[in-house]
Amino acid sequence: MYEFEFEKPSTVAEAVAALADEEAQALGGGQTLIPTLKQRLAMPSKLVSLTGIAGMSGVSGGDGVVSIGGATTHAEVAAAAAGAYPALAALAGQIGDPAVRNRGTIGGSLANNDPAACYPAAALGSGATIMTSTREITADDFFQGLFETALEEGEIITAVRFPVPQKASYQKFLQPASRFALVGVFAAKFTAGVRVAVTGASEEGVFRWNEAEAALDANFAPEALDGLSLDAGGMIADLHGSKEYRAHLVGVMAKRAVAAAG
Partner 1 sequence: MAKVSMTVNGKAASGEAEGRTLLSSFLREELGLTGTHVGCDTSQCGACVVHVDGKAVKACTMLAMEADGAEVSTIEGQANADGSLNVIQQAFQDHHGLQCGFCTPGMVMSAAALLKDNPKPSEAEIRHYLEGNLCRCTGYHNIVKAIMAASGQDVSSIAAE
- Which residues bind to partner 1, rule: CB under 8 A? 1-6, 8, 27, 30-31, 34-35, 37-38, 46-47, 49, 51, 75, 96-100, 102-103, 177, 179
- Judged by beta carbon, residue 5 or residue 136, the one nearer partner 1 is 5
Sheet of strand 129-132: strand arrangement: 59-62, 65-69, 157-163, 129-132, 136-138
Write down the least CB distance from residue 56 to partner 1, Å: 15
- Judged by beta carbon, residue 3 or residue 153, the one nearer partner 1 is 3
CB-based contact 130:213 (threshold 8 Å): no
Write down the least CB distance from residue 180 to partner 1, Å: 12
- Judged by beta carbon, residue 3 or residue 231, the one nearer partner 1 is 3
- Judged by beta carbon, residue 36 or residue 60, the one nearer partner 1 is 36
- Judged by beta carbon, residue 12 or residue 37, the one nearer partner 1 is 37
Write down the least CB distance from residue 36 to partner 1, Å: 11
- Judged by beta carbon, residue 38 or residue 233, the one nearer partner 1 is 38
Write down the least CB distance from residue 220 to partner 1, Å: 30
How far lies 147's CA from each of 26, 45, 69, in Å?
15, 21, 21
- Dihedral of the alpha carbons of 68, 108, 253, 255, in degrees to the nearest 10: 30
CA-based nearest residue to 110, from 66, 143, 68, 153? 143
Write down the least CB distance from residue 102 to partner 1, Å: 4
- Parallel, antiparallel, or unpaired for β 46-49 and 5-7? parallel
Write down the least CB distance from residue 100 to partner 1, Å: 6
Sheet of strand 24-27: strand arrangement: 5-7, 46-49, 24-27
- Judged by beta carbon, residue 30 or residue 163, the one nearer partner 1 is 30
Write down the least CB distance from residue 98 to partner 1, Å: 6
